[in-house]
Chain A
Amino acid sequence: MRVLVVEDEPDLLRVVAATLRDDGYAVDTAADGEEALFKATVWDYDAVVLDVMLPKLDGWSVLQRMRAVKRTPVLMLTARDTVGDRVRGLDAGADDYVVKPFALSELRARLRALIRRAAGQAAAVIEIGDVQVDTVGKLVKRGDTLVPLTATEYALVELLVLHRQKLVTRTTIYDHLFDEQDDSLSNLVDVHISNIRKKLGREFITTRRGLGYVIEG
């Protein structure tokens, strides 16, 4: 999952980005409104965490202009918690909001929920055959046994599961799994896929040669 975090306070930006990276997200960052708008319109993020008070272009304007071209889910960060501010945010097209100061666990939970809902999967645990994907604990079980996956492997499984029965192209995988700091080689995706197949079974992921991958279950 690839998310964009927009926040003008450098320390907060760093902490939020680090937390989300720990969770296995690919995280891009932006420190002002213009940069945020540029990145959010160029890339297909799974979610955007957007601060309201930003230099150059405030959060509301970023949201408004982004909504003209993208339907990416947006989680607003705001220090203003009056009802008027919340209503304004939700009306402007925000999908959820968190009031500063916030608990990181709440931010993570809301972000997970946002991404699931956007992918059309409301439940936190998704079952495919005998494989269970727990998006909260970031765990994958086969039957009753826990399958140990690396962070990238898990992210890849989650991406495919959230888009089950739909073709996921290699480009989409690159876009969603690796942030601007990664400098991965293309064949790495194949390595991850083959590792996942080893752990969850060959038939878990189907290859559409030349197009991408799909979970058909």
Chain B
Amino acid sequence: MIRSLRWRLQAWHAVVLTVVLMTFGVIVYHLLWQTRLNDIDAGLDRTAEVLTSRLRRLSLMPQATESVPKPSQIPFLPEEFSSLFEGEHSRYYYIIWARDGRVLRRSEILPDVEFESHYVEDSWLPVRIARFREGKREVVYVANVGTHVLVGRSIELDLAAQRASGWLLAACGWAILALGVIGGGWLSGRSIRPIATMSNIAKNISAENLSQRIDVQETDSELGQLAHVLNQTFDRLESAFEQQARFTADASHELRTPLAVIMSQIELALSKPRSNEEYVAALETCQRAARRMRSLIDSLLLLARFDSGQPGLNCGPLDLSTVATESVELLRPLADERQIKLGSDITPVPFVGDRERLGQVMMNLLSNAIRYNHDGGRVDVRVERINGDVVVSVSDTGIGIPAGDLPHIFERFFRVDRTRSRADGGSGLGLAICQSVVEAHGGQITARSEPQRGTTLEVWLPISAESEKFSQNS
């Protein structure tokens, strides 16, 4: 659960949101307090200014310490101003000291306050000191003659208001955080859901059930692309499985038929006493079937080796023209039998490869060209070098391959027409083996065909640096 993407997303989201909200809250709280304090200080400053100017006006500010001016007849503060410091609920208070600490004037209500001298000798600059003291804000002005004017007020109410603002901010913060986390959870849940669907479908896909696909309509976000890619993978998987199943079925069919021949032939031969000739004929039938099975098994094993990526090629320097000429000569009797002209245009091309396997490819291509030809037709073999490749092409004037079958001819057990194959002993694996051999040599094999006109198979093999060296040496 902790490791799940959804929960990690959610947690990260919550942490970021908390940090943002807290920073924001602290800043707002601080700014709010600054504004309040500025307000309070402005009030205190104005009051202190009034008191100072009043002192000057009434010449109460002593120039020296020798005499305390007498209280005059004029009240120190005008009526409307003095009300500021009167009454039970007055928040403001003041006290004025002379330089030496004598009290010149004070408000009626005054908390305990000690005189502290802030006078600096010979300084022409007035001094202003602001301070907090026991829930109060006080400002002390020191005039250049040394008179200290202290104005203060209680800030209990302001502190309470600030605290209330703090609580409000916190409440808003929590609300936004909750909303953010819930909303984020909903959104991440919603965006994660297709992943869960996909993983469920992927989990359900097995060898027995490969047809399920992810509904791409449902996932219109970035996940749609992922779903598309997954579906394509499933398609490939399904076709690979199908191909495998078909291959297994074909292979078992091909093996069962000769096995059926052997079993039934033996049963027939043993059912009653037979003449020697009959036994020989029976054994010959069994031998034919066994040979067919052996060649089929050899082919299957060869393909399996190529499939496993360990073709076990026995590579060495060779001349493809020799390989081609040998194959042509070997198959000439077969061609002559059907009055097929076997033409060759072979130029020497040194190459490094597996002589036996490449010979097998040549034999396969040639025997196919003869087998699927009309009597009296032609087969042309050409070996030449085109740039960095050896090109071996075998073309016939035979029955050709229908366009629809052409992409399948390299598939295992694929036969365009099964009529001829069985009697001729073809297994349907020849071209598949050719393709595997050619690809193991780094080349490729292609086919083009026109029905009733003929087929051309071309093998392209890249000439490696090794072959070049060999050709220079020879």
Contacts and interface: CB of A to CB of B under 8 A. Distances in A.
Interface stretch (B38-46, B371-379, B417-425, B454-462): B417-425
Contact of B264 (A10, A80, A102): A102
Nearest to B289: A11
Interface in A68-103: 79-80, 82, 100-103
A54 B418 CA distance: 7
Interface residues of B, number: 26
Given A18-B268, A19-B264, A55 B417 contact: yes
A51 to B, nearest CB: 9
Interface string A16-55: 1011001000000000100000000000000000000111
Interface centre among A9, A11, A12, A103, by most chain B C-beta atoms within 10 angstroms, is: A11
A15 B261 CA distance: 7
Interface of B: 249, 252-253, 256-265, 267-268, 271-272, 285, 288-289, 417-420, 422-423
Given A22-B271, A80-B249, 18 more contacts: A9-B257, A9-B258, A9-B422, A10-B423, A11-B288, A12-B261, A12-B264, A15-B265, A19-B268, A32-B419, A55-B420, A79-B257, A101-B260, A101-B264, A102-B263, A102-B264, A104-B267, A105-B267
A102 B268 CA distance: 12
A100 B422 contact: no
A18 B271 CA distance: 12
B419 A100 contact: no
Contacts, number: 76
Contacts of A22: 268, 271-272
A14 interface: yes
Given A53-B253, A79-B257, A103-B263, A15 B285 contact: yes
Given A19-B268, A22-B271, A104-B267, A12 B257 contact: yes
B418 A79 contact: no
A100 B256 contact: yes
A185 to B, nearest CB: 29
A102 B253 contact: no
Contacts of B252: 79-80
Contact of A80 (B253, B267, B271): B253
A79 B265 contact: no
Nearest to A58: B418
A8 interface: yes
A79 B265 CA distance: 17
Contacts of A18: 268
A198 interface: no
B265 A11 contact: yes
Query: Which interface residue of B260, B418, B420 has the most chain A CB atoms within 10 A?
Result: B260
A22 B261 CA distance: 17
Nearest to A54: B418
Interface in A102-144: 102-105, 107
Nearest to A34: B419
Max count, chain A CB within 10 A of own CB: residue among B258, B264, B285, B288: B264
B260 A100 contact: yes
Nearest to A105: B267
Contacts of A16: 264
B419 A55 contact: yes
Nearest to B422: A8
4 closest A-B pairs by beta carbon, nearest first, are A55-B419, A79-B253, A101-B260, A79-B256
Nearest to B257: A9
Contacts of A9: 257-258, 260-261, 422
